[in-house]
Amino acid sequence: MANFLQQVVSGLATGGIYGSLALAIVLIYRATRVINFAQGEMGMFAAFIALWLIDSGWPYWAAFFATLGLAFVGGVLVERVVIRPVERAPVVTVVIVTVGLLIGLNGAAFWIWGGDTRAFPSAFSTRAIHVGGVAFSIQDFGVIGVSLGAVALLFLFFRFTKLGLAMRAAALNPEASRLVGVRVGWMLALGWGFASVLGAVAAMMVAPTIFLDPNMMRPVLLYAIAAAILGGLESPIGAVLGGLILGVGLNLISTYVDFVGDALKLPVAFVVILAVLLVKPTGLFGRATVRRV
Amino acid sequence: MSRRRVVTLAAQGIAFLLGVAVLVVLPRWLSDFHASEVAYVGIYFIAILGLNILTGYTGQISLGHGAFMAIGGYTTAILVGHHNVRDLWTIPLAGLIAGGAGLLFGVPALRLSGLYLALATFGLAVALPAVLKKFDDFTGGTEGIQLFGRPGFTGKGYENVHVLGLTLTFNDWLYYLCWTIAVVLFVVAWIVLGGRMGRTFRAIRDSEIAATSSGVNMPLYKTLAFGLSAFYAGVAGSLFALATTFVNPDTFPIVLSLYLVIGAVVSGLGSIWGIVAGALFIQYVPDLASKYVSEAPGAPSVAYAIILIVVVVLMPFGLTGLIRKTTRPLTDRLFRRS
């Protein structure tokens, strides 16, 4: 039982990370109908910048928030510079541009910082606290708090501010939004900015446990994509829940099902998702879109 | 037939004959090493052709075509490596088995639309290497399967290959093998896509609802496209295994699937006449980036990414899109009614 609870909590921590990256993917999908394959690498790059700031003497949280600011600007720039020119191209073309970004950012990180694995400081102590005979790591709770906190802030922003409303309108119905004076192009760019911030949060939360190197976000991105499909690409809540379900589920499966272990975690995730898609082609929380012909 | 159609067909015929002529004489000027590189171009050519049938003609996006290549490659490797089957016979078999897998995958794929399908195929390609590692009795696990030196394998050490009364080096043999199959499959695609089936595919791509209401059996044709496309990928995978003389789970990484999509986009979706550009792009641009830009770790990737993004931004509809755009003013004048 104790082991079970520990696995659930650490599953929620990784699930929170998958969920925030999945939410980043869903935000961009809703706004631009594209899967951003560079989402993970953008986060990785931000984490390297954070480490660089910390190494030059910044306190952790100062570096954390400065990095989020830079990530936001970076996300907006990416949309303006490379995504906007292919706005009217077929979806596959835009996806290829994001694959190009993935390759480029990964290469740039190798070029600037080298391929060595580095330790990344954690804001939380790795000490364990004991609740009723079960040892939980403080770091797990910290990670859950930060990633879900970021998601909650974003939710409040979209729900209760005028800018958030404009961004939702631009994503749902660009033509009508343009008619009522929303600057749709800039709203999409802001969406990329927020997605980039979420990616940076995910990367900085995951880096202390899996260590920092240019390839570190590859598996995280795959799990996040899996979480996004599981929850439904259309649904932000679904993405976060999908991440949590995936994090906890995979942790339990690899602990209790011997056949799976660590090696088959990723295939199992995708097989489960394929099965879910067969039953519900738009994911657990997605709704089928009805189009007028 | 309209005048425009006749001229287009004539231009395509001339381009095709010129292409074949170049392919026949090219090895005279190629070193042995370069012949093997161009053989890989032929393999990518076949795979992109298959992907284009699916994505370009019926609009079903696959980000996981490397998985079908892997099925083809492993079919050949297991038959040649474990059962001593003559390698040439395994090529059509690899195509058929991958094609069968494609048909099977095509049925559930009917339920998925747009990017959900893209991500499902992507998941397939992500999951496959780990599955191959797990069932190691059958697939050789992480160590993979060695083809070189097996009785059924055509290339034997450093000896030349004797075929049809010709004596070829191993790499020249690979070159002619890959490109002969590529040309045959190209002609098949040309005929199939130019006829009724191609028209049906395009109707589905442009509007599923309109196609269905004109009496097109949409599920049948969408699944057929998946099978046909996977057949091409399987043949390409089989040739890939023969060319590398060895397969293991990392022979067909997820990156390969993404490279194929890059190749298809650079070629131009929905036309088979630009594919050679996509295949050349996959084979040569990464090398060029490291040879001429910088060999510092990471720098070639940056150069490659910049080239890729610039190419895609400048020609969002690929090479064929560019050709169409540049020749249109000319041909419009040619066919304008006076």
**Entry pTM:** 0.87
Q: Let me know if residue B283 belongs to a domain.
A: no
Per-residue pLDDT at B237 exceeds 90: yes
**Structural domain boundaries enclosing A96:** 2-214
Per-residue pLDDT at B336 exceeds 70: no
Q: Let me know if residue A267 belongs to a domain.
A: no
Q: Let me know if residue A272 belongs to a domain.
A: no
Q: Let me know if residue A83 belongs to a domain.
A: yes
Residues above pLDDT 90, as percent of chain A: 28
DSSP string, A158-211: HHHSHHHHHHHHHHH-HHHHHHTT--HHHHHHHHHHHHHHHHHHHHHHHHHHH-
A130 to chain B, closest Cα gap in Å: 37
Partner B contacted by A90 (CB < 8 A) = yes
Q: Let me know if residue B333 belongs to a domain.
A: no
Indicate which of A92, A105, A112 best probes the interface with B, i.e. most B CBs within 10 Å of its own CB: A92
Q: What is the pLDDT of residue A289?
A: 61
| A55-73 pLDDT, tens digit each | 998 999 999 999 999 999 9
Mean pLDDT of B188-209: 88
Residue B309 φ/ψ, nearest 5 degrees: -65, -40
A245 to chain B, closest Cα gap in Å: 18
The span from the first CA to the last CA of chain A, in angstroms, equals 55
Closest partner CB to B126 (pick from A29, A111, A222): A222
CB B69: neighbour CB atoms within 10 A? 33
Contact A92 B261 (CB under 8 A): yes
Please state, in angstroms and rounded to a whole number, the distance separating the CA atoms of residues A222 and A16. 14
Closest partner CB to A107 (pick from B108, B111, B300): B300
Q: Is B136 left (phi over 0), alpha (psi -120 to 50) or beta?
A: alpha
Q: What is the pLDDT of residue A54?
A: 92
Closest partner CB to B269 (pick from A92, A264, A266): A92
Q: Let me know if residue A262 belongs to a domain.
A: no
Contact B119 A225 (CB under 8 A): yes
pLDDT band at B156; cut points 50, 70, 90: low
Per-residue pLDDT at A288 exceeds 70: no
Contact A233 B116 (CB under 8 A): yes
Per-residue pLDDT at A188 exceeds 80: yes
Partner B contacted by A26 (CB < 8 A) = no
Mean pLDDT of B83-98: 89
| A69-107 pLDDT, tens digit each | 999 999 999 999 999 888 888 888 888 999 999 999 999
Cα dihedral sign, A235-A236-A237-A240: positive
Q: Let me know if residue B230 belongs to a domain.
A: yes
Please give the distance of CA B301 from its chain centroid, rounded to a whole number.
23
Closest partner CB to B299 (pick from A95, A100, A111): A111
Q: Let me know if residue A92 belongs to a domain.
A: yes
Residues above pLDDT 70, as percent of chain B: 96
Contact A263 B133 (CB under 8 A): yes
CB-count exposure of residue B128 (10 Å: 0-12, 13-18, 19+): buried
Mean pLDDT of B45-64: 91
Partner B contacted by A121 (CB < 8 A) = no
Residues above pLDDT 70, as percent of chain A: 96
Indicate which of A103, A229, A257, A273 best probes the interface with B, i.e. most B CBs within 10 Å of its own CB: A103
Q: What is the pLDDT of residue A233?
A: 84
Q: Let me know if residue B203 belongs to a domain.
A: yes
Closest partner CB to B258 (pick from A86, A99, A106): A99
The mean predicted confidence, pLDDT, of chain A is 86
Q: Which residues of B231-262 are buried (b: 16+ CB within 10 A; e: fewer)?
A: bbbbbbbbbbbbbbbbbbbebbbbebbbbbbb
B41 to chain A, closest Cα gap in Å: 20
Mean pLDDT of A33-39: 89
Indicate which of A106, A274, A290 best probes the interface with B, i.e. most B CBs within 10 Å of its own CB: A274
Contact A104 B306 (CB under 8 A): yes
Q: Let me know if residue A219 belongs to a domain.
A: no
- A:B CB pairs within 8 Å: 142
Q: Let me know if residue A131 belongs to a domain.
A: yes
Half-sphere exposure of B140 (CA within 13 A, CB side): 18
Domain count, chain B: 1
Q: Which of A85-99, B138-152, B189-203, B222-236 has the highest mean pLDDT?
A: B222-236
Closest partner CB to A267 (pick from B127, B297, B300): B127
**Structural domain boundaries enclosing B234:** 30-253
Q: Let me know if residue B144 belongs to a domain.
A: yes
Q: Let me know if residue B112 belongs to a domain.
A: yes
Q: What's the ipTM?
A: 0.86
Partner B contacted by A277 (CB < 8 A) = yes
Least confident range from A33-37, A185-189, B150-154: namely B150-154
Q: Which residues of B133-169 are buried (b: 16+ CB within 10 A; e: fewer)?
A: bbeeeebbeeebbbbeebebbbbeeeeebeeeeeebb
Mean pLDDT of B204-228: 88
Q: Looking at chain A, which residue has its C-alpha nearest residue B308?
A: A100
Nearest to B235, CA basis, from B83, B122, B75: B75
Per-residue pLDDT at B329 exceeds 70: yes
| B168-177 pLDDT, tens digit each | 778 888 898 9
pLDDT band at A50; cut points 50, 70, 90: very high
Please state, in angstroms and rounded to a whole number, the distance separating the CA atoms of residues A252 and B223. 37
Please state, in angstroms and rounded to a whole number, the distance separating the CA atoms of residues B116 and B325. 31
Please state, in angstroms and rounded to a whole number, the distance separating the CA atoms of residues B223 and B101. 11
Q: What is the pLDDT of residue A268?
A: 79
Q: What is the pLDDT of residue B29?
A: 83
Contact B111 A104 (CB under 8 A): no
Q: What is the pLDDT of residue A133?
A: 73
Domain count, chain A: 1
pLDDT band at B337; cut points 50, 70, 90: low
List Cβ neighbours of A50 (8 Å cut-off, separation of 6 or more): A63, A64, A66, A67, A120, A200, A204
Q: Let me know if residue B198 belongs to a domain.
A: yes
Residues above pLDDT 90, as percent of chain B: 28
pLDDT band at A291; cut points 50, 70, 90: low
Q: What is the pLDDT of residue B110?
A: 84
DSSP 8-state assignment for residue A212 = B
Closest partner CB to A263 (pick from B114, B124, B130): B130
Partner B contacted by A115 (CB < 8 A) = yes
Q: Let me know if residue A290 belongs to a domain.
A: no
Q: Let me know if residue B162 belongs to a domain.
A: yes
Q: Which three-class secondary structure string do you get for chain B?
A: CCHHHHHHHHHHHHHHHHHHHHHHHHHHHCCHHHHHHHHHHHHHHHHHHHHHHHHHHCCCCCCCHHHHHHHHHHHHHHHHHHHCCCHHHHHHHHHHHHHHHHHHHHHHHCCCCHHHHHHHHHHHHHHHHHHHHHCHHHHCHHHCEECCCCCCCCCCCCCCEEECCEEECHHHHHHHHHHHHHHHHHHHHHHHHHCHHHHHHHHHHHCHHHHHHCCCCHHHHHHHHHHHHHHHHHHHHHHHHHHHCEECHHHCCHHHHHHHHHHHHHHCCCCCCCHHHHHHHHHHHHHHHHHHHCCCCCHHHHHHHHHHHHHHHHCCCHHHHHHHHHHHHHHHHHHCCC
Nearest to A243, CA basis, from A1, A15, A58, A8: A15
Contact B302 A229 (CB under 8 A): no
